Structure 1
Amino acid sequence: MYTPTEGDLVSVIQLLHNNGVEVSNSKAAYAQLKQYESNPAFCILLSTVFGADTNPVADMVLPVSWAQYRQLAGITLKNNLASARHALGEGAVKEAARFALKSLTNPPDTRIARTSAQVVVKVTALTSLEWWVGSGVGDLPSILLNDLLPGGELKTLAALYCLQYLVEDVPKQIGESSEHVILRVSQLAASQNDPMTIRKAAFRMCFNIYEQASLLDWNVDTLSPLQMGLSKASHSLSSVCTSLLECSCGEDSAFVILVLRTCSFLLDYFDFFGQMSPNEMQRYTNWWITNSAQIICSRQNSISGNQELVAAAIDLISTTVDLYDRNGGETAVAFLVSGVPQLIFSLAPALVRYALLSSEEVANIMDTDDYRVRDSTAVSFEVKGGTKDISEDDMLDDDAAAMTLRSSALKLVDVLSTFSSDATYQAFIGPIQQLWSSSEWREREAGIVLVGTIANGCAHELRAVLDSLVDQFLQFISNQSEHVCVVSIAMWSLSRISETVLNSSPRTMDTIIPLLASRLQSTSKRIQITSVSALNVIYGVLENYGSTAVVMPHLPLLLESACACLPVYSTTNLSLLVDFLNKLISLLNDQTTAERLSSVLQVERANRASLFEQSYTAMYIREEPNVLLDKDIFSLDRAMIAFISVYPSNEVAVANLSTWNGVLADIKNRNVTDDADLVFNTLLICSAYTNSVSTTILEEWLRSTSWALPVSAAHFLTTSRIHEVKVAGITILCGLLRAVGSGALPAGLHDTLMRWATSEVSEAEDPQFKEHLVRLIGQATACYPGQLSTVATEALKSANAALRSDVFGDSSYYFSAMAFDLCGALGAVPSYAALFRIDTMSQLMAQAENTVDKSEATIHLFQALVQLPADVFSGVFSSAIKIVYSWQQAAVNYPGTKEAIQSFLFHAGKTCPGIFQSILEGLPAAFRNMLVSFYQLQ
């Protein structure tokens, strides 16, 4: 093992200085860092620096504290540990573990405690929890729970950091032990003997873990070990929450906010609590609901600036009621909502008060309302990572808290209107009428937003006053002197009642649509957004009712207004405008109008392309500072794609595809990794254009460009860490494979993709991403049946192994889609049916809705099954026939499906007649007779 020299230590400390302390030349410093990362000994040097309490080079003068260099060394060590393990083996990992554990057990400050915890968890991810004892470094679980957690101050914080990161980053290793972790830590939070800072940090760790768990894919039938542990600990943690609320969390409002937010997450766990006594249920009702209502209604809280506290209390009640409604009242939290109807009238005045825009919100709106000022957040997308610091309160600033409070209040009003529409209407209609007649615009705006908020839940009650409501909205919108916030919220509220208007007074749409169109050219960005958004919503309502003909008399006006706005709108406004324009394109039936629109789109696209090129050149070629990439071109390309989908033009599609293909190659060559949104959108636009080109021309174009597009897509797919970029890469590749088959990929890329997908599909946790991977494997197999190498076979096996039938909800949809994807592969290689888990595939397909995709999958599967050896077919028949049951008589609506099922059943009658007859006889008589008659089995 390498032993650091003083000269090497000086060099690595200087490297850390150049990359994190005083960065005078970031490009040169980064290049130097990359050079060091290729040196296997780099991690040994970093471990030495990180583990040193003082500078190991005694005579080296540093401009900042040594702790800052230690922290930089620790972060860099964590990021390079995996490559060091590959190069140097376990010795490098052991060295890092030894120094990290040393720093963790005796941290000088919270920064080193956090960094030490991160390195410890990285080591655990590369090895295992058991490795710590086996390697002789130390018994990590015992050190954390028995030594550090009760150690006080920094030691306790270090343990909390490490425990949180372990649960978040290595959940499979923690598993059901998460129950023990939560129980120990929550008891620390409840302890009256520990300092408030430690108690809050302990509770904050519990909050962070349950917050992250809320994002996981939950399957109540088969919880993961981690979910089992969190479920078992949830009752105890909820009891701690109640106890903390009873003592007002030591009069610490930040602590109360944290507890209320945790209660909201714990509502999902009530089904795991078991039997609760009446006294316990009353205790929960008193402190989770009644106490929250008191916080909401207290004028002292709004006066003292506790807006985030009020928002947390509102969110707890709205989450409870919403959960009750979504489960049709069949939920363990039902006892919590029993008294809510009686609270509505007492809550209403406070909620109305909180619905008013704050002065901070108004200032923020007006500061950004000039349409000429670009929205920087819309053009500079950044994927953010990192972990929360449990040692500090994460409080919102006043502006954010005010916006959160209004949003929370309106959400509760919306939930209450669905939960108890009559009581909500009665409680709010009086205050709303008073607000509407106010001379103060903020009060008028609040009254309007409240009407829009109760529009869905109280639709029946609002019918009695619908005509007057619409008339008042139209007056607000048409009044050029009215405040922009009043006009914009009137548009939003009008769109919210548009379905009721269509059903009650459809001719009113002839007034609403042109009025909204007239406000598209407002100089207010807020009015621009809400007018085009309202038009999008109304069009969606008309489409749902098959009433888009209502738009036709207004089509010339709408097109004229939209085209006039194209050169003016930018970022979010432009994207929404294009959404609406794309809807109008589908209504075009006049060639002259279409040609004029095409000309307008192409001129504006050229303008936006020039702006993109200028900003891209400045940012990535000249590397100028403080440049924002102008991405409005993506919106114009979406409009072009929508247009050529109705009026095809291979010439336009190929020209634009070639341009974006060049951009994508340049992004790849320059290794642009700081803007995932740029890569994602470029991939998607390329994919959309490939779908707009005829198959023959697309195949010729791929050859002429030496398959640059699939090569670039594969590069980003296999190198990016961003989920959306990977999905976009798969979308392009699957689209090309579907369009041109074996001509889609250059030599060698097929196996590269299969190897990558094999590795990814076994590790992927997200069902949607897993389905994308299986689709890629299935599509590649179907297009290259002659290349069933070991690589392809392993890919199919991994895709088959990924299937699960014990899923529900969205997960069920994605796993059924995976089964369809594999059936597509069977269409090309039917012999592989013998290797697939037909029972699981059949169950997934049987529980899926009858669609075109299911039809194609059924045909491929049954055609493959009838080619199996008789004994294999007999073994899977009882599972596969479930698919037949699911189709019943609907198969006749999908060409080829009924015929494939008939062939499958006839084959069963010949191959395994005994099994077939036994199954038929076990069916209910009516269902059996239907099958026999429909599929002509006799």
Structure 2
Amino acid sequence: MVLATLFNSSAPVGGSIAAQPGAVDWLHYRRLAGITLKNNVERAKTLLGEAAVIAVAQSSIQELRLATHASLVSIAAQIAVKITSIVGLSWWDTASICNLPSFLLSELLAAPSETAVLGGLYCLQYLLEDVPKQLGAASEVIVQQVAQMVMDENRPETIRRAAFRVASHPYELGSLLDWNVEALSPMQQGLCNASRSFARCCTSLLAASQHITFASLVLRSATLMFDYLEYFFDNDAESMHLAATWVGAALQHILHPANPDVATAAADFFAYLFEVYERTGGEGPILVLATAATQAFPSLIPALFKYIALTQEEEQAILEKDHYSHRDAYAVVLQVSSSSAGGRLEDHAEDDGMDDDEGTLRKSAASCLDKLCTIAPNEASALVLAEIGATWTHADWRVREASLLGFGSAVRGCFASMATHLPTIVGNLKAIIGDQSAHVCVVSMAMWCVQRIVTWLISAEGQPLVADLVDGIVARLESDSKRVQAGAVTALKVMLQAITEVQLQLPAALIEGAVRRIHRCIELRYNTGNLSSLCDVSLIFLGLLPDSMVTAFATPFFGVRAAKMTSFEQSYHAAFVEHQHNAMVDKDVMYLDRVLVAVLERSPSAEQQTSILSTWAGVLWDIAQRSAYDDADLVFHSIFNASQYVRSFDTTSLTTWLAHRDYDIVKVHTSQSFIRCSCYVMLYQLINVALDSCLRDAWTLETCYRCATTMLTNDVDDDPALLSAISNLLGLLITLRPEQRSLDAVLLLSQKLRGDAFGESYAHHFAVSCSLSKVARAHPTIAAQLPLTVVATIFAAAPNSLSKSLATIDLCTAIQAALATSDPSVINAVAQSVPSLLRMVFSWQQASAAFGNGTFEAIGGFLRSLLQHGQLSAAAQQVLQGLPDGYRAQFLQTYGLA
């Protein structure tokens, strides 16, 4: 109460102390009081009750209304938002203080005082940042009202800029959400409804963007609006003006930028425009903007080439940290893959050949060049080739490096124009890679270019060049340059993955030589991120070796692991036991263990398995005891490595190991999604191998089921990766304990499944569909409860692969078995999904027989069950009759149905 009074007091009681010699300004005391209120209001509610919260709330509203100082209204806004996050938006009405949204929009934004208006805008922005879901549909009114303020040229630019930030922020937030177009949230619906008003605001500002100081923010906001075009773009005169204004302004900011940030925003504008054009197939409103952008290519493409050259400052920053002994200060960017129930690690680091920070002009220009060549190769090819031809052999290495970056960015889109030159270009790249005197940036960029043409390299024309190119890259693994190391391991990883997919054989001598170099590299030259990538390459080479060579391959890894484990223990002790300032944990041993897990799966050693698993179990236990969750990468790898070693055990060995350990289930407290995913992977592995013998005390299969379903109900709407991990665990639990609860879990998962997902989100929904299909195969009666149309749509969109093959077998087998029960609910569910199910079958074309694992037979059996079913054959025949005659005849003949 005293702090609230102090915060609102314009002067101390009994006279001003500011007049006393050396006195601190009274404003400083008021700021301290406000900050203390904000930081302690939640505790005050617990200790003093609602009366204390009401007093604090009233003091914040009073300061917002009086607006005595800009710094105080900012603090008052933070207090109001903090209270809202604790007690909810409706509380302000219930407590008879005010209707907060109405107070902000109707009173503060209309106030004559500029400071009061800024206070209202601050509060709206903080609300949108901290409690967006509580605002919900009100986002529409907020955006529309502040957009009007932005377009009022009579207002000060400080007000217009602050108002624009408020209007743009919910669209920034919306770009991070996982959208379901069939069931928009209230906030998403509000943003869609307000999109026309905000688009007009962007048009108005971009028309005069040479005269405002926040042009980069306007460009980035306009870029976000490409996802909302269908809600406001009508192909009328206003829309044509919008397209011309947006594209014209972005082009001018690339050709004549006020600063690098504006040019970067303009390049990102064009890059995302082309990305949306490609995603939508060039249909709809985006076509108008893309057409205008294409007409600008003659001036846009040379400008982009100008921006992709390294500056001296960028070169210096690279070389300062380029020796192999330098350790990265950041964590390796890894997460759990959705490709398998067991969980795998995926490296999500950019393979763009540039380790620049996010958002640099160079990176944005290269991305823009890549995307424009993809969507308009005919218009871009001649311009791109002219730029590359003029700089490919330039005397200045920076110009040559930029030429390589330009080639790599453009080659996938302009492949048809460049294909005849590729044999010569590959020879040039190999020469650059082998040139020990070439600048490290040129060498690494040449290796990146190799990644960009890997599809051609594994084709019939490129295959004769592969072995020599791989040998040349392998030779650079032992470079002293971290940048060259990174280029080499990344290029090798991409090439080896492609070679493995097409089953191209590399010479045995090359493989053995590469393994010897890897052994030398892991002993000294590699650490942190580069070591992680080298371990990925090592795993691929391990897969190419016969069983007789596995032990020789693994021995140096086990030897290096001992030294790396010592370094890990010492650094862990310094960071979490001694709490040394700036101490970082050496996690190199964790990357080596990814390789050793694969070794032990092929050549089991009970002693090694139990020793290493015991180590990581102990580390995880110590992390939990110390609540050492600040290092998320450490927590993740400890859980994930332990789970992978669990996978290498058989049931008897793991059960024995568990029986001889006195342990409790470790509770990991974290909000980090990827760590929670790894926890579900760990539970999956433990239960899959050891069944319920891995659970102790109150933890049972039922406990795990409740935990997973609770998480599914509350926390996965915007997190497809977590949804995927939970679905894997639930699928296993349902298979082990097929009780009534299994139907509830299937219904929960089904409600979360979406057929309109794309990109990384799509991969996770595909994994959920695989889990549901596997459950339905084990328990066919569940098939009627599956969203068959959605599952089939997801499978139809997937490329033909082993995971799609197994999922197709599961789904087809489940439906056949379910139809055999003659359950009316099953027949009705399948009848409604026949078109989608057949599209899934058509997506295989002639490839189903190539997998040799029963895919062809499962599809054939499914088709026969449809065509021979009295209530389903007519629907199936109707779909088949809609096919072209030739394709239909070939399709029926392929599956023996003619």
TM-score (norm 2): 0.84
**Match 1:276 to one of 220, 229, 235:** 235
Indicate how the Cα distance of structure 1 residues 430 and 845 shifts in structure 2: closer, same or farther if over 3 A, else same.
closer
Is 1:405 matched with 2:358? Answer: no
User: Which of 245, 263, 284 is the equivalent residue of 2:222?
Assistant: 263
| Correspondence for 2:475 among 482, 502, 518 | 518
Q: How does 1:542-553 map to 2 (within 5 A)?
A: 542-547=499-504, 549-550=505-506, 552-553=508-509
Provide the rounded CA distance (Å) in 2 between the counterparts of 1:883 and 1:242.
42
* Letter aligned with residue 738 of structure 1: N
2:595 pairs with 1:639: yes
Which residue of the other structure, out of 236, 244, 248, is the alignment partner of 1:286?
Answer: 244
Q: What residue identity is the alignment partner of 1:134?
A: T
Partner of 1:582: 539
**Other-structure match for 1:437:** 393
Could you tell me how far apart the structure 1 residues matched to 2:334 and 2:89 are? 37
- Shift, 1:124, TM fit: 3.5
Corresponding letter in the other structure for 2:494:
V
The yes-or-no answer on 1:760 pairing with 2:714 is no
Q: 2:119 aligns with which of 158, 173, 176?
A: 158
Contact 1:182 1:233 in 2 (8 A): yes
Cα deviation per residue 1:830-879 (whole Å; 9 max; x = unaligned)? Answer: 88x5xx9x4553333333425424544665677678779x6766776755
Q: Hey, what's the Cα distance between the residues in 1 that align with 2:43 and 2:830? A: 52
* Deviation, structure 1 residue 580: 0.7
Residues in 2 aligned to 1:98 and 1:129: alpha-carbon distance in whole angstroms: 15
Aligned residues: 844
Alpha-carbon contact 2:180-2:754 (below 8 Å) kept: no
Task: State the Cα distance separating 1:886 from its structure 2 match.
Answer: 6.8
Q: Cα–Cα, structure 1 residues 258 and 906, in superposed 2: closer, same or farther, change >3 Å?
A: closer
User: Are the structure 2 counterparts of residues 505 and 655 from structure 1 closer, same or farther at C-alpha, using a change threshold of 3 Å?
Assistant: same
User: 2:208 corresponds to which residue?
Assistant: 247
CA contact (8 A) 1:758 1:794 kept: no
| 1:234 counterpart letter in structure 2 | S
- CA deviation digits over 1:515-557, x for unaligned, max 9? 111111111111111111111122123223321x135341111
Comparing 687-696 and 850-859, the one that deviates more? 850-859
Q: Would the aligned equivalents of 2:477 and 2:489 in 1 still touch at CA under 8 Å?
A: yes
Equivalent position of 1:178 in the other structure = 139
Aligned counterpart for 2:790 among listed residues 844, 849, 853:
844
Conserved 8 A contact 1:737-1:783: no
CA contact (8 A) 2:244 2:289 kept: no
CA deviation string 1:80-136 (max 9, x = no partner): 58xx56x87755654554444444444555555455444434444455433322331
Instruction: Give the Cα separation in 2 of the matches to 1:798 and 1:840.
Output: 7
Q: Distance in 2 between matches of 1:469 and 1:211?
A: 41
Task: Give, in angstroms, the shift of residue 169 of structure 1.
Answer: 4.0
Letter of the 1:580 counterpart: V
Q: Would the alpha carbon gap of residues 222 and 241 (structure 1) be closer, same or farther in structure 2, given more than 3 Å must change?
A: same
> In structure 2, which of residues 376, 380, 394 is the aligned counterpart of residue 420 of structure 1?
376
Q: 1:73 to 1:822 in 2, by over 3 A?
A: farther
Q: Please state how far the C-alpha of 1:283 moved relative to its aligned partner.
A: 2.0
Show CA shifts across 1:387-437 (max 9, x none): xxxxxxxxxxxx989971111111122122223324423213233233233
Structure 1 432/274 Cα, relative in aligned 2: closer, same or farther at 3 Å?
closer
Q: Does the residue aligned with 1:376 lie in a helix, a strand or coil?
A: coil
* Residues 246 and 287, structure 1, Cα contact 8 Å, conserved in 2: yes
Deviation digits for residues 17-76 of structure 1 (CA, Å, limit 9, x no counterpart): xxxxxxxxxxxxxxxxxxxxxxxxxxxxx8778777788999999999324533542443
Q: Is the 8 A contact 1:775 1:818 kept in 2?
A: yes
- Larger CA deviation: 732-741 vs 160-169: 160-169
2:138 alignment partner, SS class: helix
- Say which SS state the counterpart of residue 378 (structure 1) adopts: coil
SS in 1 for 2:226: helix
| Correspondence for 1:693 among 646, 649, 659 | 649
Query: Residue 108 and residue 632 in structure 1: after superposition, are their counterparts in 2 closer, same or farther (change >3 A)?
Result: farther
Aligned pair partner of 2:28 in 65, 68, 71? 65
Q: 1:799 aligns with which of 740, 748, 754?
A: 748
Query: Matched residue of 1:164: which SS?
Result: helix
SS of equivalent residue, structure 1 residue 347: helix
Amino acid at match of 1:763: N
In structure 2, relative to structure 1, the CA distance for the partners of 1:108 and 1:475 (3 Å cut) is: farther
- Whether the aligned pair in 2 keeps the contact of 1:491 and 1:531 (CA below 8 Å) is yes
How do residues 206-225 of structure 1 correspond to structure 2 at under 5 angstroms?
206-225=167-186
- Letter aligned with residue 406 of structure 2: L
CA distance change for structure 1 residues 71 and 517 in 2, over 3 Å: closer, same or farther? farther
Q: TM-score, normalised by structure 1?
A: 0.81
What corresponds to 2:873 in structure 1? 920
1:629 aligned residue:
585
- C-alpha root-mean-square deviation of aligned residues, in Å? 4.0
Question: Is the CA contact 1:805–1:843 (under 8 Å) kept in the aligned structure 2?
Answer: no
Provide the rounded CA distance (Å) in 2 between the counterparts of 1:223 and 1:509.
49
Answer yes or no: is the 8 Å Cα contact 2:712–2:723 preserved in 1.
Answer: yes
Task: For residue 731 of structure 1, report the CA deviation from its aligned partner.
Answer: 0.7
Query: Per the alignment, do residues 51 and 685 of structure 1 end up closer, same or farther by CA in structure 2, a change over 3 Å counting?
Result: farther
Confirm whether residue 134 of structure 1 aligns to residue 84 of structure 2. no
User: Which residue of structure 2 aligns with residue 326 of structure 1?
Assistant: 279
Match of 1:39 in 2: none
Residue 696 of structure 2: SS of its match in structure 1?
coil
Shift of 1:824: 6.0
Does the 8 Å CA contact 2:331/2:633 hold for their aligned counterparts? no
Counterparts in 2 of 1:89 and 1:801: CA distance versus 1, 3 Å: farther
In 2, distance between residues paired with 1:678 and 1:347?
45
| 1:371 aligns with one of 320, 324, 335 | 324
The answer to whether structure 1 residue 313 and structure 2 residue 266 are counterparts is yes
How far off is 1:209 after superposition?
1.7
Q: How far apart are 1:639 and its partner, in Å?
A: 1.4
CA distance in 2, matches of 1:145, 1:488: 54
Amino acid in structure 2 at the alignment position of 1:159: G
- 1:724-759: CA deviations, max 9, x gaps? 111110110012122222223224213543443343
| Kept in 2: contact 1:71–1:111 (CA 8 A) | no
Q: What residue in structure 2 maps to residue 737 of structure 1?
A: 687
Whichever residue aligns with residue 749 of structure 1, its letter is W
Deviates more, 1:326-335 or 1:218-227: 218-227
Counterpart-to-counterpart distance in 1, 2:745 and 2:120: 43
Residue 253 of structure 2 corresponds to which residue in structure 1? 295
Stretches of structure 1 that go unaligned for 5 or more consecutive residues are 10-45, 383-398, 910-915
Q: Relative to 1, partners in 2 of residues 1:127 and 1:149: Cα closer, same or farther, differing over 3 Å?
A: same
SS at match of 2:870: helix
1:275-322 Cα shifts (integer Å, max 9, x gaps): 2323x2442233211232232223xx3xx6x11111112221222223
Query: In the alignment, is the contact (CA less than 8 A) between 1:528 and 1:573 conserved in 2?
Result: yes
1:186–1:551 distance in 2 versus 1, CA, 3 Å: farther
Contact 1:566/1:574, CA 8 A, preserved across alignment: yes
Q: Name the structure 2 match of 1:358.
A: 311
Q: Which residue of 2 aligns with 1:464?
A: 420
- Is the contact between residue 637 and residue 685 of structure 1 (CA under 8 Å) also seen in structure 2? yes
Q: 1:618 to 1:290 in 2, by over 3 A?
A: same
Matches within 5 A, 1:68-107: 68-77=31-40, 80=43, 84=45, 94-106=54-66
Q: Which moved more, 1:856-865 or 1:926-935?
A: 926-935
Q: What stretches of structure 2 of length at least 5 have no aligned partner? A: 336-354, 796-803, 882-887
Alpha-carbon distance in 2 for matches of 1:690, 1:52: 63
- The verdict on how the C-alpha distance between 1:117 and 1:262 changes in structure 2, with shifts beyond 3 A counting, is same
1:396 matched residue in structure 2: none
Answer yes or no: is the 8 Å Cα contact 1:55–1:66 preserved in 2: no
Contact 1:379 1:629 survives alignment (8 Å): no
More displaced 10-residue stretch of structure 1: 235-244 or 430-439: 430-439
- Relative to 1, partners in 2 of residues 1:418 and 1:927: Cα closer, same or farther, differing over 3 Å? closer
Closer/same/farther in 2, CA of residues 542 and 896 from structure 1, 3 Å limit? closer
